[in-house]
Chains A and B, each alone.
Chain A
Amino acid sequence: MTSRLSAITLNTFREAVRDRVLYNLVLFVLLLVATAPLFGQISIDIERLVLVNVGLSSISLFGVIIAIFIGIGLVSKEIEKRTLYTILCRPVRRWEFIVGKYCGLVMTLVVNATLMTVGFYVALLVTAHHLTASDARLLVAVYFAILEFLMMTAVTLLFSSFSTPIFSALFAFALFVIGTFADDLRNFAAASQGVIGLILTAAAYVVPNFASLNVISQVAHDQPVPGNVVLFNTLYALLYSAAVTAGAVLIFERRNLK
């Protein structure tokens, strides 16, 4: 089972790495990070802050975009090219296929995030001429961005398991936007009563909560992120991603592929 999973994971990773969209986006982020010091020059006293905000926001946002653009084709492409039937003819279970695809895309995103983070730190070094201990705190925001990717990949895969690529992209992006408003949704739910309150509370828990994973402003101002927040955010992202991937498996298991 492990060898089958790792084979699908590595294959998905290789396929994603060959995708031109990926390189365009990574290049765009690196360019953005490279121009951030120039942007800081036209403002006052915020060169580092601009670089941190541009760099971390780009890593997070473009990672999400990559997750959506590559994620939407994970299942549908295999069906379209009829390669899925070749895979499923072998002793590969459907859930192994979905989980392998998930791991492959997550692996791609982690490698991308690492590359973009290296680029970001190089830009930071060029701007400030040295790195300080507080710069290490910025890695918390990168780590949270990776947790965001885990959840977005699961969500995209869920839609990809039953819908067309275009609709999958629309649904996934809409869920990402709603996820950034998760705190507002929670507040609406708290302010509402009766059935509506219950529905809103349920909705607030069903959509991914990305608001708690965005600590960019906090780390940019050198404010610490408590260890408990890191721990419970990790737990939340892992559990949520596992639950959504399980949902994707469930749908794919029941899907008629004939």
Chain B
Amino acid sequence: MKATRTIITPAALLLAALFTASVFSLQKVEALRGKEATLEEVLYLPSAKTLKRLSLGYTGLLADIYWTRAVQYFGSKHGQHSTRYDLLDPLLEITTDLDPHLIVAYQDGSLFLSQPPPWGAGQPDKAAALLEKGIRNNPEYWRMYFTLGFVHYLDRHDFKAAQKAFEDGANVPGALPFMRVMAAKMAENAEDIGTAITLWQGVFETTKDKMVRDTAVKHLDSLRADAGIAELERRIKLYQEKTGTLPETWADMVRVGLLRGIPLDPSGAPFELTPDGAVQVRDPGKFPFLGQFEKK
């Protein structure tokens, strides 16, 4: 009994010491390889075709793993405010090759790709190609046409392609009538804030991804602030025409009946009036896409 204890105690200590040392060595190896080493290996060694073969027919399972990798890759890059998302498109390609019916990979994946850095990869052409692949594989899913129209309109500024996407989607059984309305809007060949808000609202209501929802909220807030600023500046012009001077405070405009009260931005803070008659938000950090719609 005593002999056994004399062996067990040092053996247990040795085991603990060796295990701890192995953890430190592994951490060192990981640090040397860099954070994306594992991902790159998994991504570039096998093509989707090879992966399909290696999966022994369990392609659905592998596609789930690759989609999870794509989400984690995007999440970590997004967290670092990175401007490069080089592995995102190949990861999404492999995922959708392995499971062509994984709708979420096309829908959310295309938004990850299309948004400008640091919000996304800034690759709207690749996003459109991914969605076209998704439509080829899932022609009955009308929401994919909506997302394609969204990317063509807001990110690629290709009104004709956007109109076609909305029209094609409207012809899919079960598609909501607003797809035809959107197609008609695209035919007007103009970028207006109202259409952009409708599109982002559609994304906000359909996505389950927190990152995409957050981006949609920021876009919606920025667009609503843009719309608010444009409307206030229009009324300031009216005030100037009426009185011959610029208003010094919002109260001046309330007094002449051009405003009902102090105007608030989407965050709830009052809009600020500058001495030269321009309007701005109090905290621009809350509206990262402010003014970007007009710039396009």
Question: B67 near A53 (CB under 8 angstroms)?
Answer: no
Q: Which secondary structure characterizes the binding site on chain B? A: helix
A140 at the interface (CB under 8 A from B): no
Question: A211 near B57 (CB under 8 angstroms)?
Answer: yes
Q: How far is the CA of A248 from the CA of B29 in the complex (A)?
A: 51
> A39's closest neighbor in chain B, by CB?
B68
For chain B, the count of residues having a C-beta within 8 Å of the partner chain is 20
A117 at the interface (CB under 8 A from B): no
Point out the residues of chain A lying under 8 angstroms from B61, CB to CB. 53-54, 57, 216
Most buried by B among A39, A44, A184, A217: A44
Known A-B contacts A45-B209, A46-B102; the reply to A217 vs B60 at CB < 8 A is yes
- B104: contacting residue among A39, A44, A177, A217, CB under 8 A: A44
- B58: contacting residue among A43, A61, A176, A223, CB under 8 A: A61
Q: How far is the CA of A223 from the CA of B60 in the complex (A)?
A: 13
A55 to chain B, nearest CB (A): 10
Count A/B pairs, Cβ under 8 Å: 65
Within 8 A of A (CB), among B70-112: 71-72, 99, 101-102, 104, 108
A39 to chain B, nearest CB (A): 7
Within 8 A of A (CB), among B42-81: 53, 56-61, 63-64, 67-68, 71-72
A9 to chain B, nearest CB (A): 30
Within 8 A of B (CB), among A23-81: 39, 42-46, 49-50, 52-54, 57, 60-61
B260 at the interface (CB under 8 A from A): no
A22 to chain B, nearest CB (A): 22
Size category of the binding interface on chain A? 20 to 34
- A43: contacting residue among B59, B60, B68, B101, CB under 8 A: B68
Q: How far is the CA of A46 from the CA of B71 in the complex (A)?
A: 11
Most buried by A among B57, B59, B209: B57
User: Can you name 14 extra interface pairs (CB under 8 A) apart from A42-B72, A180-B56?
Assistant: A44-B67, A44-B71, A44-B104, A45-B108, A45-B209, A46-B64, A46-B67, A46-B68, A46-B102, A53-B60, A54-B61, A61-B56, A210-B57, A217-B101
State the 4 A-B residue pairs at the shortest beta-carbon distance, nearest first.
Answer: A217-B60, A43-B68, A214-B57, A53-B61
